Amino acid sequence: MNQDIFLSNSLGNKKEKFNPIDPKNIGMYVCGPTVYDDPHIGNARPLIVFDILFKVLKCKYGHKSVTYVRNITDIDDKIIKSSEEKKISITELTTNVTKKFHEDCNYLNCEPPTYEPKATENIELMIDMINELIKGQFAYENEKHVYFKVKKFEDYGKLSNKNIDDLIAGSRIEPSDKKQSPEDFVLWKPSINNEPSWNSPWGKGRPGWHLECSAMSKKYLGNTFDIHGGGRDLIFPHHENEIAQSVCANKTKKFANYWVHNNFITMSKEKMAKSQGNILKISEFKKKFNGQVLRLALISSHYSQPLDWNEKLMDNCEKTINKWYNCYTPVKEKILIEDDDLKPLYDDLNTPGYIAVLHKLYDKAKDGNQEKKQKFTTACKFIGLLCQSKEEWDNFKKQNLKLSEKDILKKIEERNLARDSKDYELADKIRNELLHKGVLIEDKDGKTLWKIK
């Protein structure tokens, strides 16, 4: 593969050619879920975006040359609050939500990352990092709290392209009389009541959220690595704070070279968020739609652009995949995808451009040529589509039919009687009713045939 990869780098806010530190040892860290509630489709978008980037990097540099780390935050203020509201233990909550998260990953056909560390399994590393920051006078303790001195880091605000005053004014900075300056952020805090706690030089407590990712990325990828990813909402303060504490603790000039952020999913142009009350949980889609349909919907627009959700999107994507399965064929031997076909993905993960390529490959494969069908199927599989057999796809559709076969035949008979009576309005009404319930009928050679749409 001779093509270069280009990525939109939030650090500098421009598209850049990807030049890895070591082509044989590429590192990518992506902020994973905070497991306090069921995942929603806003959480699903980065899952799929960075799953595709993982595939593209392996295609370019080799499967053994890419390390993908995606953490699980299993200790956090949100988790503590959620466990109290649900009246269950933190362990039960985080175990249940993590299980649902993994089920959703499988549903969306996302590959597992190389490593998936949990915050609670790496507390000692976080304590070590805090000690380094205190030694370097980048952090201070006050009444068992430890804070990072933001003004000690000259490049603070470089990722979000804002100065400290602007960042403070435009964010919800947690006030505290224990801080030396209002912009300072917490690295360690004491645990109260029955909150989870770990022993530290500053007493029993727990780490700050930002510190967790800095420690875990260092463990698996080193002091400086290639790509750090996540949603745009993490740029400030989370990623800004990660950079500050990592660079200062690790004594490096950089933390990650490329910062890749996916944009929001919106509904009526409003960001989808729990606080807005407009979220759609992934579990809500599972009974009605195959995971491939949701996957296609979430890559139908470029990751750097907002995706405005509407009801027609899923229906259109289901029709597309249903059509594509007409040219599905099992691929037993390795089929290489042509460089020209992969160009859109190498150009900043242009998934809409790649979907256009898939449509062209489908049009070529419609003539039934087996080689063309194999190329089309391989190209779909590369991006995580047509990952099930035609039989599995059809079986899922049958399970989701709102009518039994007996009911369908009865409706067809009613329609035929209406047509014989020249009651075409009723006949059309029955046809549309069947269509709405997932059944497509066709009049051919004096017979009415039906199939699942």
pLDDT confidence of residue 1: 60
Q: Which two tokens stand for residue 111?
A: 């590959």
Ranges 273-277, 303-307, 315-319: which has the least confidence:
273-277
pLDDT confidence of residue 205: 97
Q: Which two tokens stand for residue 366?
A: 């419609």
pLDDT confidence of residue 381: 97
Band (pLDDT 50/70/90 cuts) for residue 98 is very high
**Tens digits of residue pLDDT in 37-79:** 999 999 999 999 999 999 999 999 999 999 999 999 999 999 9
More confident of the two residues 437 and 348: 348
Mean pLDDT of 243-248: 98
Cβ partners under 8 Å of residue 316, min gap 6: none
Q: Which two tokens stand for residue 55?
A: 């595939």
pLDDT confidence of residue 435: 78
Q: What is the mean pLDDT of the chain?
A: 92
pLDDT confidence of residue 401: 66
- Cα distances from 176 to residues 68, 117, 132, 165, 428, in angstroms, run 37, 31, 23, 17, 67
**How many other C-beta atoms lie within 10 A of the C-beta of residue 258?**
21
For the chain, helix (H) and strand (E) counts, in that order, are 16, 15
- Checking if the pLDDT of 317 tops 90, the result is yes
6-266 maps to which CATH number? 3.40.50.620
10 Å CB burial of residue 25 (0-12, 13-18, 19+) is middle
Domain range list for the chain: 6-266, 287-397, 401-452
Mean pLDDT of 141-146: 96
What is the biggest distance separating any 2 CA atoms in the chain, rounded to whole angstroms?
91
pLDDT confidence of residue 445: 78
**How many other C-beta atoms lie within 10 A of the C-beta of residue 87?**
6
pTM of the model: 0.89
Mean pLDDT of 250-259: 97
Cα 219 to chain centroid, rounded:
23
pLDDT confidence of residue 416: 87
Q: Apex CA 373: angle with CA 371 and CA 374, to 5°?
A: 65
- Checking if the pLDDT of 195 tops 80, the result is yes
pLDDT confidence of residue 202: 97
What's the first-to-final CA gap in the chain, in angstroms? 39
Whole-angstrom Cα distance, residue 339 to residue 145?
54
Whole-angstrom Cα distance, residue 78 to residue 69?
23
pLDDT confidence of residue 109: 97
**Tens digits of residue pLDDT in 37-46:** 999 999 999 9
| 69 close to 216: Cβ distance less than 8 angstroms | yes
pLDDT confidence of residue 176: 78
**Tens digits of residue pLDDT in 408-452:** 888 888 888 888 888 888 888 888 878 777 778 888 877 888 877
Cβ partners under 8 Å of residue 154, min gap 6: none
Mean pLDDT of 207-223: 97
pLDDT confidence of residue 288: 87
Mean pLDDT of 259-271: 89
pLDDT confidence of residue 402: 62
Residue 222 is given by DSSP the state: -
Specify the DSSP element, H or E, that contains 28. strand 26-30
The percentage of residues in the chain with a pLDDT greater than 90, rounded to a whole number, is 75
Mean pLDDT of 328-348: 92
Mean pLDDT of 5-18: 97
pLDDT confidence of residue 333: 80
Whole-angstrom Cα distance, residue 107 to residue 100?
10
**Tens digits of residue pLDDT in 269-304:** 777 776 667 789 999 999 889 999 999 999 999 999
